[in-house]
Amino acid sequence: MNKIQVITSINHEEVEFLCEPQETLLDVLRDTLGRTGTKEGCATGDCGACSVLVDDRLVCSCLVLAAETGGREITTIEGIATEEGLHPIQQKFLDHAALQCGVCTPGLIIATKSLLDRHPDPDETTIRYWLAGNLCRCTGYDKIVRAVQDVARDLAGPA
């Protein structure tokens, strides 16, 4: 057997797993660790459903080998809400009905978090380009963009 032992941190919790050399982070998250919040749409980098943060960098987990993640800090959708409740981004997606089937939603929320961490006050063009790698087949992008704009407004605080 060729299994590789990996110790990493997922949502600030130390996690240890065994993986095949060619297995992706997405495979391990979903199939080995049962964290199915991160979705698989295409497995080829096109849809963004599998978006996670690795050391605060937005990536497609379908294009990262699990074996590469030793010693990293991984943030998945399961790490977004807090004890107190939903993250503001999650709440705004609900408020604006920015989801229908929900397959794209975990990826969009992670991508939005990474956007707002870097650009707290993005204009619409910045939002649309940043999220261009997150495909949604049901909702249409307008409601999603409105939700993101609304979170950004709230995070900026009262004018």
Partner 1 sequence: MEAFAYVAPSSIDEAVAELARHAKKGHRTQVLAGGTDLLVQMRGADIEPRILVDIKNVAETNRLHLGNNEIFIGAAIPSAVLNENAELVELLPGLLEAADLIGSTQIQGRATLGGNLCNASPAGDTIPAMIAVGVSCVIAGGKGQREMPVEKFVVGVGRNALEAGEFLVGLKIPRPKSRAADAYLRFTPRTEMDIAVAGCGVSVTLDAKGLCKEARVAIGAVAPTAILVPAAANALIGTTLDDAALAAAAAACSDAASPITDKRGTIDFRRKVVGVLCRRATAIARDRALARKVLGV
Ligand X SMILES: Cc1cc2nc3c(=O)[nH]c(=O)nc-3n(C[C@H](O)[C@H](O)[C@H](O)COP(=O)(O)OP(=O)(O)OC[C@H]3O[C@@H](n4cnc5c(N)ncnc54)[C@H](O)[C@@H]3O)c2cc1C
By the criterion CB under 6 A, which residues form the site for ligand X? Answer: 45-46
Give the angle 99-38-25 at the CA atoms, nearest 5°: 155
Among 2, 12, 14, 157, binds partner 1 (CB under 8 A): 2
Q: Which is nearer to ligand FES, 29 or 60 (CB)?
A: 60
Number of amino acids touching partner 1 (CB under 8 A): 32
**CA–CA distance, 46 with 27 (Å, rounded to integer):** 16
Among 13, 18, 45, 142, binds partner 1 (CB under 8 A): 45
Closest CB 72 distance from ligand X, rounded Å: 17
Stretch that binds partner 1, among 27-35, 61-69, 78-86, 144-152 (CB under 8 A): 61-69
Closest CB 141 distance from partner 1, rounded Å: 12
SS3 83: coil
Q: Does 69 bind partner 1 (CB under 8 A)?
A: no
The residue with tokens 């240890």 is: 16
Q: Does 140 bind partner 1 (CB under 8 A)?
A: no
Measured CA to CA in angstroms, residue 69 lies from 16, 26, 31 at distances of: 11, 11, 16
Give the angle 76-81-87 at the CA atoms, nearest 5°: 110
End-to-end CA distance of the chain: 60
Return the structure tokens found at 142.
Answer: 């307008």
Q: Which residues bind partner 1 (CB under 8 A)?
A: 2, 4, 20-22, 24, 43-46, 48, 51, 54, 57-60, 62-65, 67-68, 111, 114-115, 129-134
